[in-house]
Structure 1
Amino acid sequence: MSVAREPRLVPVPKWIAVRTSALDRAVARLAGNGARALANRYLSVSTDPGEGDPGALTLRDAAERGDWPAVRAFLAAVTDPRARIFYLRTVAGVRGAETWLSRAARADGDILARLAYGYRLITWAWEARGSNAGFTVSGGRARDFGERLAQAESCLGDVVLHEPGDADAWAGLLVCNRGLQRGIDEAWRRFGEARAADPHHLGAHAALLQQLCAKWGGDDYTMYRFAVDSAAAAPEGTPLACLVPEAHIEIWTGGAGQRHIRRAETIEEIRAAAARGPGHPAYRPFPGDAVVHNLFARAFMNAGLPGEAAPHFAAAGNRVVDHVWADAAYFWPESLIHLSYLRERRKAVR
C-alpha cells in the first residue's frame, strides 16, 4: 500500500500566528455560546456532548453543579467497561470542573477522583491549545497545554500505580504521551499496559492510532497496519472495526485524497470492517458508540458510496461526533460542523 506522507510544516511569521490565534479564540467563543444555542434551536441535530444518553445528561447535570458525591456514585455504578471512558469524558467536558475535581482528588486520596480529574486536565489542556495545527498555537497557550497535560500525566500515573489494571487510565496516559511528545516507544509501552488490562479497549486503541499518524511523529503505514490488525484480532461484532475507516480517513486527509479512499481495495477493507463490526449480529450498542457509526458514515461518503453510509447515519441518528467531520475545518463553529453532517446525511438517504 502506498501512503502519502504529510508534508513537513515550516515556521510561519509571528504576526500570522497571532492573528490566527485571535480568530481561533473569537470563533471558540461563538461556538461555545451563540452558535450552540442557534444550532440547538434550528438544527435537527443534537449539540449535546452526552450524545442523547440519559445517563450522560444526569451525570453532566451533577458535574455542572460541582456535586462530586453524585458524580462519584454514578461513575462507580457503571458496569459496562466500554462505557466508563465515555462517562469520564462527559465529566471532563464540563468547563470549570477542574476546580472541584482537584479538591476531590486531594481530599481523601480517592482513586476514582484522581481518574476523573486526570481526564478533565486532558480536556482542559486541549481547550488551551485549540484544535489548530501546532504551528499556529501561541506561546502562552502552548505553555498552558503542556502544564495541564503534565498534571494529567502525574494524576493518571498515580491511578495506575494503585490500580495497574485500569485501562481507562492507561488510555488517558496515551493521550498525554502524544501531547507531551514522549515518543512512539513510550506510547507502545503504555498501550501494552492498556491491552493487558483490556485487550479490546477502544479508547486505548484510538489513542495509539492517533500517535502512530505521520502528523504526530509516526508514519501512516504503521498506523494503517495497526488499525487493520487490531480490528481483525478482535471478536466479531467489535467496535474496534471503526479503526479501519479512521485509518483511511487519516490517510485521505493527510494528502492521499480521493484517489486513495476510492480505491477498490480501500473500499473492500472498509466494507469488511463494517460487516465484522457494527454490521455484525454480535455487535451490541453502548454509551459512546456514536463514534463507530460516524466513522463508517464519513468513510463511505468520502468513498462516494452514500447508500452504504445510510445505515450508519441511521444508527448514529442525531449523535454527531465533531472531530470526525471537522478534520479540515479548524475554525468552524459547532453549528457548521453539524450542518456538514446534515448535508452528508441528506445525500445518503436520497
Structure 2
Amino acid sequence: MRIFRRRKGERPARGTLIVGRAWKDVALDAAVEAVQEGYLSAGTVLLGETHRDPELRSLRLDALSRAAVGRSQAIAQLLDGDHDRADVLLWLGRTVIDEAWVIRGGSLAESVGEDRFKLFFATLSGAHDPLMEAARLRPEDPVPWESMIWLAMGMQFDRLEEDAIWDEVVSRSATLFSAHWARLQSLAAKWGGSHEEMFAHAREAVALAPPGHPLTAMLALAHLEHLLAEERRLVEENKVVAYVRFGLKYFSDQVVGELKDAERRWTAHARPHPRDVEAHHLFGAIFVREPTTHDLAARHLRQVGNRVGRGAPWGYLGDPAEEFAAALGRLRLPFPSDDDLLML
C-alpha cells in the first residue's frame, strides 16, 4: 500500500480559492505543478535561482518539498546527474522531513499510535545526513539549518541541541521569516516550551525586523497560538463560561496596542517580500477576532487575493478555505480572484 497518494492532475483549489499556495511567485506555481507530475528538474531550476536570496530559497523549498512528498527516492536519483548537489541534497532532506510529518499526522502526540511513531522517527532520521551535507557544501546558506529545526522538533532533540541549531541559523540570517516561524513553533507549549518563551521570541523578532519587513507577523502568530491553545484546553475541560470570557477579555488595550505597533513597523515602510501573503494572513486572522480591529483585518486580507495556506492561521481553525471564506464574510469583503493577487 502506498503511503503517499496523489491523483493525476490534482490541483490545490477549492472553488475559487487556491489552497496551499500562499505566494505571488508565478514561476513557483508552474514548478509545483511540474513536480507534482514527476518533472523534478523544474524544482532544481527554481532552487538554482535562489543562491543569493535565503528568503526566496526557503519559500521555494517549502513549496517544492510539499509538492514532492512521496518522491524523495526520485530526488535522490538526481544526485547522479549534473544538478547542483547542494540544491538536490537540501530538497531531498526537506522532502523527507515533509514525508515524515505526513506519516505522523497533525494530531497531538497522545493521539499518535506507537507503530506510526516508529515509522515517523525512522523516516525523519533520513533527513539528517542530506541536510548536513547541503550545509557543508554551501556554508553560508541558512536554509538547511532552518530545516534542521523541524527535524529537531520531530526527533525530540533537547533544548541545548535546538538552541545550537538556532544559533547556526541566526549567524547566517538573523531575520529569515520561515526560520523564525519554525523556532516559534519549537518554543510553543505544545512542543514542550511555554507561552512565555514563545512570546519572548515573537517580541524579539519584532525588535529585530528592519522597518518594512513582514517578520513582525511573528507576534500575530504567537497570539494565535496562545488563543487556540487556551481555547482548546477550556473546551476539553468543558468550561463553557470560561471559554466565552477568555475570548471576550483577551484583546486588552495592551494586546491590541502591541499588535498594532508590530503591524505598523511592517506596513508603514513595506517592501516586497516573498512571505508577504503569509504575513497578511497572520495579521488578518488575529485582527478579525477583535471587532475594533476589523478595519485592519480587512486591509490585510485584501492583499492576499485567493491564495490560502494549508496551515496557520486558517488551517488551525478547521478547513482553511472555509475558515478564510468565513472571515471574508465577517468583514463583508468580496470573494477574491487570482487576478486580484497578481495585480497587487
Superposition TM-score tier, normalisation by shorter sequence = 0.7 to 0.9
Listed as ranges, the gaps of 5+ residues in structure 1 are: 1-24, 330-335
Picking from 151, 156, 172, the partner of 2:131 is 156
Does the CA-based 8 Å contact 1:307-1:349 persist in structure 2? no
Picking from 260, 263, 272, the partner of 1:274 is 263
Which residue does 1:243 correspond to in 2? 218
Q: The residue matched to 1:176 in structure 2 has which SS? A: helix
Relative to the length of structure 1, the TM-score reads: 0.81
Whether 1:342 aligns to 2:336 is no
Give the 3 Å change call, closer, same or farther, for CA 261–320 of structure 1 in structure 2: farther
Which residue does 1:208 correspond to in 2? 183
Does the CA-based 8 Å contact 1:184-1:211 persist in structure 2? no
Listed as ranges, the gaps of 5+ residues in structure 2 are: 232-245, 334-344
C-alpha offsets along residues 109-155 of structure 1, whole Å, 9 cap, x if unaligned? 81110001111111111111111111111223212221222111222
Q: The residue matched to 1:322 in structure 2 has which SS? A: coil
Which residue does 1:264 correspond to in 2? 253
2 CA distance for matches of 1:209 and 1:144? 26
1:326 offset after TM fit, Å?
2.3
Relative to the length of structure 2, the TM-score reads: 0.83
2 CA distance for matches of 1:230 and 1:309? 21
Which residue does 1:169 correspond to in 2? 144
C-alpha offsets along residues 229-256 of structure 1, whole Å, 9 cap, x if unaligned? 2211221111210100111111111216
Picking from 40, 48, 51, the partner of 1:76 is 48
Task: Give percent identity, aligned residues only.
Answer: 24
Does the CA-based 8 Å contact 2:288-2:297 persist in structure 1? yes
Picking from 285, 307, 310, the partner of 2:272 is 285
CA RMSD, 1 decimal: 2.5
Q: Kindly provide the amino acid, as one letter, of the partner of residue 264 in structure 2.
A: A
C-alpha offsets along residues 74-117 of structure 1, whole Å, 9 cap, x if unaligned? 21113533111111122111233212112123667811100011
Whether 1:92 aligns to 2:65 is yes
Which residue does 1:58 correspond to in 2? 30
Q: Kindly provide the amino acid, as one letter, of the partner of residue 46 in structure 2.
A: F
Q: The residue matched to 1:218 in structure 2 has which SS? A: coil
1:12-31 to 2 correspondences below 5 Å: none
1 CA distance for matches of 2:28 and 2:109? 31
Q: Kindly provide the amino acid, as one letter, of the partner of residue 40 in structure 1.
A: A
1 CA distance for matches of 2:53 and 2:250? 34
Give the 3 Å change call, closer, same or farther, for CA 231–150 of structure 1 in structure 2: same
Does the CA-based 8 Å contact 1:258-1:303 persist in structure 2? no
1 CA distance for matches of 2:65 and 2:42? 15
Does the CA-based 8 Å contact 2:24-2:277 persist in structure 1? no
Give the 3 Å change call, closer, same or farther, for CA 115–309 of structure 1 in structure 2: same
Q: Kindly provide the amino acid, as one letter, of the partner of residue 103 in structure 1.
A: Q
Q: Kindly provide the amino acid, as one letter, of the partner of residue 331 in structure 2.
A: A
| Count of residue pairs brought into register by the alignment | 311
1:322 offset after TM fit, Å?
2.4
Runs of 4+ in 1 over 4 A off after TM superposition: 106-109
Give the 3 Å change call, closer, same or farther, for CA 261–240 of structure 1 in structure 2: farther
Whether 1:193 aligns to 2:180 is no
Does the CA-based 8 Å contact 2:32-2:64 persist in structure 1? yes
2 CA distance for matches of 1:110 and 1:208? 27
2 CA distance for matches of 1:314 and 1:230? 25
Whether 1:299 aligns to 2:286 is yes
Whether 1:134 aligns to 2:109 is yes
Does the CA-based 8 Å contact 2:19-2:320 persist in structure 1? no
Picking from 304, 309, 332, the partner of 1:321 is 309
Q: Kindly provide the amino acid, as one letter, of the partner of residue 342 in structure 1.
A: A
1 CA distance for matches of 2:195 and 2:43? 39
Q: The residue matched to 1:46 in structure 2 has which SS? A: strand
C-alpha offsets along residues 205-235 of structure 1, whole Å, 9 cap, x if unaligned? 1111101111101111011011112211221
Whether 1:230 aligns to 2:216 is no
2 CA distance for matches of 1:290 and 1:99? 32
Does the CA-based 8 Å contact 2:56-2:274 persist in structure 1? yes
